[in-house]
Structure 1
Amino acid sequence: MTNKPHIQQQFQARMNEDELLNCMRCGFCLPTCPTYIESGFQESHSPRGRIALMKAVVDGIIEPDEDVERSLQLCLGCRACEPVCPSGVRYGHLLEEARDIIAQHKTYSPIVRFIRHIVFKQLFPHPNRMRMVTALIGFYQRSGLQTLVRQLGLLRLLPSHLATMENVLPNVPTWKQMNERPTHVEALIPRKRRVAFFRGCLMDTMFMDINDATMKLLQLVGCDIVIPEAQTCCGALHGHSGEKADAKTLAKRNIEAFETLDVDYIITNAGGCGAFLIEYDHLLKDDPVWAERAKAFVAKIKDVSVILVELGFHHKDWHVPNQIVTYQDSCHLRNVMKTAKEPRLLLQSIAGIEFREMKDADRCCGSAGIYNIIEPDMSMQVLDYKMEQAKQTKATTIVTANPGCLLQMKLGIEREGLTNVRAVHLVELLLEAVETTKQMDEPLKQMG
C-alpha cells in the first residue's frame, strides 16, 4: 500500500521538471536499455517511457500506482541511456529521486520493513558489523558446514540463482585478517603521488584480496597510500534503493574522513562505489554546509585504472601465460565515471594476452547492486545475453572492475558450465602479470 496523494505532492515538489522536460522523446536511449529490450520492447520499461511516467505523475495525469512503481523498480539503473542522450538528460538522478519519494511513502510488509532496517541502517553503515557478517560466512565456508549443507541438498530450498550464487562466493578472509588492515603504506619506488584509498565495505571484507592487489599495484607505480579508518560505506546501495537521507549521512562521514588528508587523489577500485562517490556534489547540492566540501571531495576521485595509466604501468614489460581475455564494462565506471579506455589499454599492454572485445561489452550484466537478488528473472535474462556474447569471443578470462559484476560473471560461468573460463577483477589480472614477470626474470638474474 502506498500513500498516493503524498507521493504525487512530493513528485511535484521534488522532481526536477526542467530535467523531465529535457527529454525530447527521440528514442536514442531505447537500443541501450536492457530492460526495454528484454521486456519485448515495452515503452514503459525504457528510459523515455519512465521519464514520461514521472512527468505524468508530476502533471497529475496519472496516479503513482503500482504500475509506475513497477516500471521504476525494474530499471537496472545502469545509466547507459545517459551517454547517448542528445539532450544530456541525467536520468539516473531522476530515477533515484523518484524511487526515494515512493520508498518514503510506501507501507512495506513487516518482514520487508525489518530486512530494509537491518540492511540499510544496522549493517552497511557499520564496518565492524560488516566484518562480523563476513566472518560468519568465512566460518560457514571453512568449518565444514558448507560441505554438509551441500551434501544434504539444502541449497535446493533456495531459488536456483541464489543457490548458484552461494557456489561462486569468494573464499572470505578471517576475522583476524579483516581487523589487521593497514592505514598507511609506502611506495615501492620513489614517490610520485600521495593518494588516499577508498576501501569500501564489501571490497574490504568479502573481496579483501582485490583491495590488497590494488594497493600493491599503487605502491609499484610510486604511490604512498593513506587508508583513513573513519571512512564508511559509500551509500550507493541506499541511494539506489530509496534511502536517500541515509546516503547523505554516509556521504558526509566519508567527506569528513578524507577532506583533511593531504593527498593528490582518492582512489577507488569498484565502479559502483566510485560512481556514487563522484556524485556526492549532486547528492549534497542543496546543503549549504556541505555543497562546497562535496565538490572538493569529488574533484579528487579517480579509478585505479586511470592512475595506473597516468603513472605508466602499461609501459612496462609485463607477461602472463597465454590466454584470450575479454572485458565486461562496469556500467557505472563507464557511464558515470567515463572510464572505459584505461582498463582496455592496461589489458592490451600485457604480453600473453590476446584481447577480444565482446559485442555489447557496455551493456549491463544484470547485477546492478542487489538487483540480481530482488529481480532475479530479469537479471538472469540480461545475464544470459551477456554470457552469449562472452562465449562468442572464446575468452578464457573475463575481466571486470566492480564486485557485483564480478560475482555476476562468475554466476554466468557457473550457469553455462564453462569449466575452462574464469572471471577476475582487473587488478587481480594486473597483479598476476607483475608476479609472473618477476618469476620469469628471477632465473635470468641468477644467471647474470
Structure 2
Amino acid sequence: MTTTKERETIQWQFKERLSDDELLNCMRCGFCLPSCPTYIESGFQESHSPRGRLAVMKGVVDGFIEPDEDVERSLNMCLGCRACEPVCPSGVNYGHLLEEARDVINQNKKHSLVVRTVRKAVFKGLFPYQNRVQAVTGLLGFYQRFGLQKVAHKSGMMKLFPDSLSTMEKVLPPVPSLKEMKNRPSYLPAKIPVKKRVAFFSGCIMDTMFMRTNDSTMKLLQLAGCDIVIPSNQACCGALHGHSGEKNGAKELAKRNILAFDELDVDYIITNAGGCGAFLMDYDHLLKDEPTWALRGKEFSKKLKDISSVLIELEFDKQMLSLPDQVITYQDSCHLRNVMKTEAEPRLLLTAIQNTEYREMKNADQCCGSAGTYNIVESDMSMKILDSKMKATRATEATTIVTSNPGCLLQMKLGIEREGLSDTLRAVHIADLLLEAAQTSVGEMER
C-alpha cells in the first residue's frame, strides 16, 4: 500500500516528468485497441488498453485520479510491446510515457524488504557486471551438465514451482561452460572480400545463456563479408532496468555502451535481439536530460542495425541457402518490428531458403507474452496470450517457428512444451536457422 505522502509525491512527479503535450496527443480514437494483447485477453477492459492507460496517466497528472494500487496494476499489466505506436494516427510515444510513469511509481514506492533485496541484487549487483552474469549462468550450466537437473525432475522438486516456471526450466538452452563464456573474441575477419566493418553488440544474456546464437550471428556476418569488432568493455543494454522502473541504472549502462562503441571506426553496430536493439535505439530519449549524452546517444543509435537488415543489405539472401524439407513460420519480435521498424527483412531471408515453405502466421505482429520478465511476474495474462499465439501457430501447420529475440524464443518453446508439440515443432532463432541453412548448402555442394 502507498501512503498519502507517497501518492502526493507520485502525483507531483507525474506532472513534472510526463509530457502533457504527449498525453494530449491521444485523440481517444481507439485505433490502438485491436493491436493490444492485454486489452483483448482481459475481455476488452479499457484500463488494460493503451488508450485507457494514457487516460489514467492524464488523470493522475490533472489530479482527478489518485496514483493508487489500481493505477500501478494497470501500468504493470502492460507488456510494453509498443504495438500501439505504429497504428496511432497522432504518433503518441506511448512506450516513453509508460516507462517514465513506471519509474516514478517505483522510485516513490516503499517496497518490502524481500523485494528491495531482490531488486538490489538483480539491478545493482548482477546485470551491470558481465563477469557476475557469467558466474550465475555458469551455475545453471553446472546444474544442467552434472545431473542435478535430472535429480530435480525425478524427485518431484519442480512441482513446487508454478507450472510456467517449471516448464520454462525444461526448455532453457544448453548453457556453455564458464571457460567458454570468458573466452570470447574481440575481432573476427570476414570470410570473403570485405564489404563492411561492423561492431557487434553481444549483450549480457545473449553472450552467456544464448552464446551459441551470438556465435551463429558472427559467423553469418563473416560469411556476408563483414570484419567484426566486439568491444570487451560493452555492458548490458539496460532494457531490464528501463522497463522495471530503474531509470538511473539504465542511464549508467547506456553511457558505458556509448563510450565502448564511440571511437570505433565501423559502418554499423549489429544486434540480434529485438528487445536489446529497441532499447539501444532509444538512448537519446533515455538521456534527454543530459544534452551532451543525448547527442552521443543519437549518433550511437544511427549506426544500429539488426542482423537481418544487414544480411539483406549485403545480399546474403542471394547466397545458396538450403534446409531439409520443412514448413517455416515467423513470430515477430515486438520491439524489432515496432521500434526498429524491421519486419520485411527476416521474411525475405526465410523465404530464400530452398526446400522449405514459408507460411505467414495470423497476427504474427502481436506479442507472444514474453516481454522480458512479464511471463514470470504476470504469468496468468502471459499464458493467455501464449495460448492464442500457439493456436495461430498450429493453424500454419509449421514444423519450425522462427523468432528474433531470446525472450520470444523461450516463450515459443514454452508454448510448444505446454501443447505437447515437441516431437513435431521446434522454435529457433533466425541466426541459428540461417547458419544451419548456409552450412547445409555447403555440405550438399561438397557431396
TM class, shorter-length: over 0.9
Choose 335-344 or 291-300, whichever is displaced more.
291-300
1:338 matched residue in structure 2? 341
Q: Which residue of 2 aligns with 1:40?
A: 43
- Identify which of 418, 422, 428 aligns with 1:424: 428
- Asked whether the equivalents of residues 187 and 228 of structure 2 are also in contact (C-alpha less than 8 Å), the reply is yes
Matches within 5 A, 1:363-402: 363-402=366-405
- Confirm or deny that 1:435 pairs with 2:414: no
Partner residue in 2 for 1:159: 162
Verify: 1:181 aligned to 2:184, yes or no. Answer: yes
Shift of 1:62: 1.0
Offset of 1:46 from its aligned partner?
0.2
Give the C-alpha shift of residue 295 in structure 1: 1.1
1:258 maps onto 2:261 in alignment:
yes
Following TM superposition, by how much is the alpha carbon of 1:285 offset from its aligned partner in structure 2, in angstroms? 1.6
What amino acid maps onto 1:442 in structure 2? E
State the alpha-carbon separation in 1 of the partners of residues 320 and 407 from structure 2: 31
In the alignment, the residues of structure 1 paired with residue 130 and residue 440 of structure 2 have an alpha-carbon distance, to the nearest angstrom, of 34
SS in structure 2 opposite 1:289? helix
2:199 matched residue in structure 1: 196
- How far apart in 2 are the matches of 1:81 and 1:323? 33
4+ residue segments displaced more than 3 Å: none
Residues 1:125 and 2:160 aligned together: no
Is residue 322 of structure 1 aligned with residue 320 of structure 2?
Answer: no
Q: For 1:27 and 1:294, locate their aligned partners in 2 and report how far apart those are by CA, in whole Å.
A: 33
Deviations 1:305-343 (A, max 9, x none): 000000010011211001000000000000000000000
Kept after mapping to 1: 8 A contact 2:320/2:438: no
Q: 1:309 aligns with which of 308, 312, 327?
A: 312
1:406 aligns with 2:409: yes
Aligned length: 443
Q: Alpha-carbon deviations, 1:55-78, whole Å to 9, x = none? A: 000000010011110000000000
Q: Which runs of 5+ in 2 are unaligned?
A: none
Indicate yes or no: 2:59 matched with 1:56.
yes
Distance 1:293 1:335 in 2: 23
CA offsets 1:224-250 (integer angstroms, 9 cap, x no match)? 000000000000000000000110000
Unaligned runs of 5+ in 1: 444-448
Q: What's the CA shift string for 1:402-447, capped at 9, x where partnerless?
A: 000000000000000002100000011100101100110002xxxx
- Residue identity in the other structure for 1:355: Y
Normalising by structure 1, what TM-score? Answer: 0.98
Which of 8, 11, 26 does residue 11 from structure 2 map onto? 8
Offset, 1:288: 2.4
> Which residue matches 1:25?
28
Equivalent-residue separation in structure 2 for 1:295 and 1:158 (angstroms): 43
The equivalent position to 1:356 in structure 2, one of 352, 356, 359, is: 359
* 2:146 equivalent in structure 1: 143
In structure 2, the residue matched to 1:76 is 79
How far apart are the structure 2 equivalents of 1:28 and 1:292? Answer: 33
Matched, 1:226 2:229: yes
Partners of 1:151 and 1:291 in 2: CA distance: 53
TM-score scaled by structure 2? Answer: 0.99
Displacement of 1:293 after TM fit? 0.9
